[in-house]
Amino acid sequence: MSNIKEILTERESWILRTVMVQYIASGEPVGSRTVAKLSGLQLSAASIRNVMQDLEERGYLQQPHPSAGRIPTALGFRYYVDHILPIQELGVNTRQQICQAFSPPAEDPQELFRQASRVLSAVSGHPSLVLPPRPQAMCLRHIKFVHLGGDGVLTLLVSQDNQVQTRFVRTGLEFSQKQLDRFSDYLNGICQNLTLGEARRRIVAQMQEEKILFDKMVSEALYLSRRALQDEKQEELYIEGTSRILDYPEFAADVEKIRAIFKAFEEKHHLVTLLDQTMVSQGVQIIISPNEHFPEMQLSLVASSYSLDQAPVGSLGIIGPMRMDYARLVPIVQFTADLVTERLSKRQC
């Protein structure tokens, strides 16, 4: 969300927009003469230079060196995105290209997310990110325990949309398959239709209550399920097209910046944190130069959540330099997120 309370005048907005459009296209500083020719304002280059200087003093533009024109700052991009950005209609050919990328329909969610990441990168020309639903958000349909010999137990977690997760647990105790079946029946009675996170909280609460009841079967079932449902720290993220970052001269010429960017792609947790931020709001979110995660990199993210049963469960988007063509990218991200939502819903039917 924007913290900018100031509203620019119409003249200032047109000049900022002209600088923005030219800088997005070229990556080069934009001079007052160029703005005078292209802005449509009946103003001299000197008058426009004065406005650009004023915008610089207020933090919307900056001048890389004295003899150059000006480029937008992160604040300038934020204002442009929030108040000026003209969203384009998605062309018929682009729609068809995105739709064809999801054909034939994916047989499992993982392939669906791979399809989404591939087409987002191909159509946008930028690296793409797809954050799949977190295991703790998975809505349970069925739990089953399978005896693997000794104290080894395989837990099968089946979601409402037929995703299956398997988790291996060493219990420290030996249970027969008959006992494990009784545990499964009991847990399915109290955890069905809950998310994994909700089921885990329910089980912890039940464990507190069962201390009073002294029911050995129930306490053993709750103990085993708590072990099987404990939080997993692994962060899964589908990334496609990382080499496209090298297409931008502002990155390609800076070895240290390239190294830092690829480290972020490899470690993933900062990217996951950014995508998480887009889960709380409807529609496409644009995060401009999040310096707390990418200091000095001037990267931005265009992302949207996708849903299941009208609730956001994951997020996808495009990452690139601040001078990305947001007007073109926003409808691409929105259309792809809508398709993923649609495909997830069909899999549930």
Beta-ladder partners of 142: 158
- Among 138, 146, 187, smallest CA distance to 162 is for 138
Segments making up each domain of the chain, as ranges? 10-84, 92-132+236-348, 136-229
Domain at 92-132+236-348: CATH architecture = 2-Layer Sandwich (3.30)
Say what the pLDDT of residue 349 is.
39
Q: Kindly list the distances between the CA atom of residue 49 and the CA atoms of 45, 58, 335, in Å, as whole numbers in the listed order.
A: 6, 14, 40
Q: Kindly list the distances between the CA atom of residue 239 and the CA atoms of 36, 124, 131, 297, in Å, as whole numbers in the listed order.
A: 41, 14, 9, 18
CATH number of 136-229: 3.30.390.60
Residue 5 CA to its chain's centroid (Å):
27
- Among 232, 231, 184, 180, smallest CA distance to 204 is for 231
CATH number of 10-84: 1.10.10.10
Q: What is the DSSP string of 26-63?
A: H-S-B-HHHHHHHS-----HHHHHHHHHHHHHTTSEE-
Q: Do domains 92-132+236-348 and 136-229 have the same CATH topology?
A: no
Q: From first to last of its 349 residues, what are the pLDDT tens digits of the chain?
A: 455 678 899 999 999 999 999 999 988 999 999 999 998 888 898 999 999 999 999 999 999 888 779 999 999 999 999 999 988 889 999 999 999 999 888 877 888 999 999 999 999 999 999 998 766 566 778 888 888 888 888 878 787 777 677 677 777 778 888 888 888 888 888 877 787 767 777 776 776 666 545 456 666 676 676 666 665 555 688 999 998 988 887 777 778 878 888 888 887 877 888 888 887 777 899 998 766 556 556 789 999 999 877 778 789 999 998 899 999 999 999 999 999 999 987 754 3
Rounded CA separation 55/60 (Å): 5
